[in-house]
Chains A and B, each alone.
Chain A
Amino acid sequence: MTDPHALSGAYAVGALNETEQAEFEAHLQSCAPCQIEVRELLETTALLGIAAAQPVPPALRAAVLDEVSRTRQLPPVVVSLQAHARKRGFALRRWSLTAAACLAVFTIGLGAYAGQLQHENSNLRHRGDQVAALQTAADARTITSADGGATATVTVSRSANQMEFLSSGLSMHKGRTYQLWLIGPNGPRSAGIFSTDNGKHAPRLFTGPGDATVLAVTEEPAGGSAQPTTQPIIKVPLPTA
């Protein structure tokens, strides 16, 4: 690529492809003057967008507000933890020390418990890594699909091979088992089972999408099945690039 600096305009009007966009964003990280310029140009294009404003149909407003009440929010960015650590190094270090001290007390007082805690901790860290991988991926795309009261929100990054699955409204019955399937050229493969808590939100599931092009959810007997045995309740086409 030639001078990445010259791409700020094309970036601000969204005229770069995904690779170029990712390269330019990487360049931005190390170029403070570019950051200011891009920020100003994005404020400028926002005005171009505002100038095209059109009222939304009332039904759309009602649909979004309704969906919002059933949709979980993303946790605050995990990636910016490093940036925050730089900004607030002291506070964070002090927090870690306190956390370490707490953990020490647990280890002494509740030996068996501590093992479990550490295990949960490492699970959390692992999940944090997955969230970070997904969020830092320039090609991460979010698709929301609603079908018969059930809503699935899937965020996929092909480059990071990460996927996050969130659902709501799956069932009003407690204790049902749902199975997540990734369907690719070789047919469906299981990506995990889950149950819903009183029909509210299902847990967030993370997995690598691999070569799958469709995600599906079926209801299965407790413990799950090797292959889907019922018709999918939710089907979401996954972005390929």
Chain B
Amino acid sequence: MSRAAATLRAVASPDPSPAAPVVRLEDLLEKVARGDEAAFAEVFTRASGPVHGLVRRVLRDPAQSEEVTQEVMLNVWRSATRFDAAQGSAMAWIMTMAHRRAVDRVRSEQSATDRVRRLGGREVLPAFDEVAETVEIHLEREAVRRCLTSLTDLQRESIDLAYYAGKSYREVSELLDVPLGTVKTRMRDGLIRLRDCLGVTA
């Protein structure tokens, strides 16, 4: 098992006791798909922190973030019947859903208010002391931080603006003042480098 896969598994099981049987998030989702509310409560325990953190990074506004987190977690319940483990991990499925929902919200907000968020002063990841984090999430955060530094500035900024701030690649191209084609390529190259650094396998 790759390191990243191990982390996904570890994040998905916060119980620190090594003797505790590890129930995979995928198996929990299968139970949720059959209407098991107790299994859903466990999925909530494991996934809500990552979902909420990501949504807050994208939306920033605490009230809206809570609303979207709630929508996403409810949607995990509603659509667990459609999770297909052949398409990827349960965590990736949930996080993709969370990101899409947050980005939808930020884009509809932006078009409504034409609000432009400035680049300056944004930190790449929240400070350690902001979060009461599990050991696994701490390790993950460290690994991501380390791997992000292995990217070129343009790769890192493109990924940061798109993923953490919900910008389209056109907006990223304008904000960084580089051609569209370059942004697309940097996003792909940067993610591939991150994938290799984090040891992700599909």
Cβ-defined partner of B48 (8 Å) among A56, A69, A80, A153: A56
B75 in the interface (beta carbon within 8 A): yes
A200 in the interface (beta carbon within 8 A): no
A75 in the interface (beta carbon within 8 A): yes
> Which residues of A21-52 are within 8 A (CB) of B?
36, 39-52
Contact A43 B8 (CB under 8 A): yes
Contact B87 A39 (CB under 8 A): yes
Contact A9 B189 (CB under 8 A): yes
Residues of the A chain whose Cβ atoms lie less than 8 Å from the Cβ of B48: 56, 60-61, 64
Cβ-defined partner of B80 (8 Å) among A69, A72, A73: A73
Contact B187 A45 (CB under 8 A): no
A175 in the interface (beta carbon within 8 A): no
Contact B200 A53 (CB under 8 A): no
Query: Nearest chain B CB to A40's CB is how many angstroms away?
Result: 5
> Which residues of B29-84 are within 8 A (CB) of A?
33, 35, 37, 40-41, 44, 48-54, 56-57, 66, 69-71, 73-75, 77-82, 84
Residues of the A chain whose Cβ atoms lie less than 8 Å from the Cβ of B143: 47, 51
Cβ-defined partner of A52 (8 Å) among B11, B53, B195, B198: B53
Interface segment, one of A12-20, A98-106, A177-185: A12-20
Residues of the B chain whose Cβ atoms lie less than 8 Å from the Cβ of A50: 7-8, 11, 50, 53, 91, 95, 137, 140
- Per the bound structure, the CA–CA distance linking A13 and B132 in Å amounts to 26
Cβ-defined partner of B184 (8 Å) among A9, A41, A75, A239: A9
B21 in the interface (beta carbon within 8 A): no
Q: A10-B169, A46-B95, A54-B126 are in contact. Are A73 and B77 (CB under 8 A)?
A: yes
A55 in the interface (beta carbon within 8 A): yes
Contact B202 A43 (CB under 8 A): yes
Contact B82 A12 (CB under 8 A): no
Residues of the B chain whose Cβ atoms lie less than 8 Å from the Cβ of A144: 71, 74
The interface bits of chain B over 73-114 (1 if a CB of A lies within 8 angstroms of the residue's CB, else 0) are: 111011111101001110110011011100110001000000
A149 in the interface (beta carbon within 8 A): no
Contact B99 A49 (CB under 8 A): yes
- Per the bound structure, the CA–CA distance linking A141 and B131 in Å amounts to 31
Query: Nearest chain B CB to A12's CB is how many angstroms away?
Result: 6
> Which residues of A60-117 are within 8 A (CB) of B?
60-61, 63-65, 67-69, 71-77, 80
A167 in the interface (beta carbon within 8 A): no
B28 in the interface (beta carbon within 8 A): no
- Per the bound structure, the CA–CA distance linking A14 and B73 in Å amounts to 19
Contact A49 B188 (CB under 8 A): no
Contact A13 B159 (CB under 8 A): yes
Residues of the A chain whose Cβ atoms lie less than 8 Å from the Cβ of B133: 53
The interface bits of chain B over 178-202 (1 if a CB of A lies within 8 angstroms of the residue's CB, else 0) are: 0001011111111110110010111
A8 in the interface (beta carbon within 8 A): yes
Contact A153 B78 (CB under 8 A): yes
Known: A53-B53, A60-B66. 4 other contacts (CB 8 A): A9-B188, A15-B167, A53-B131, A55-B131
Measured CB to CB, the residues of A under 8 A from B are: 2, 6-10, 12-17, 36, 39-57, 60-61, 63-65, 67-69, 71-77, 80, 141-142, 144, 153, 239
Those 3 A-B pairs whose CB atoms lie nearest each other, nearest first: A9-B188, A9-B187, A54-B53
Measured CB to CB, the residues of B under 8 A from A are: 4, 7-8, 11, 33, 35, 37, 40-41, 44, 48-54, 56-57, 66, 69-71, 73-75, 77-82, 84, 87-89, 91-92, 95-96, 98-100, 103-104, 108, 125-126, 130-133, 137, 140-141, 143-145, 159, 162-164, 166-169, 172, 181, 183-192, 194-195, 198, 200-202
7 contacts between A and B (CB under 8 A): A13-B162, A15-B168, A39-B92, A44-B195, A46-B89, A52-B126, A56-B66
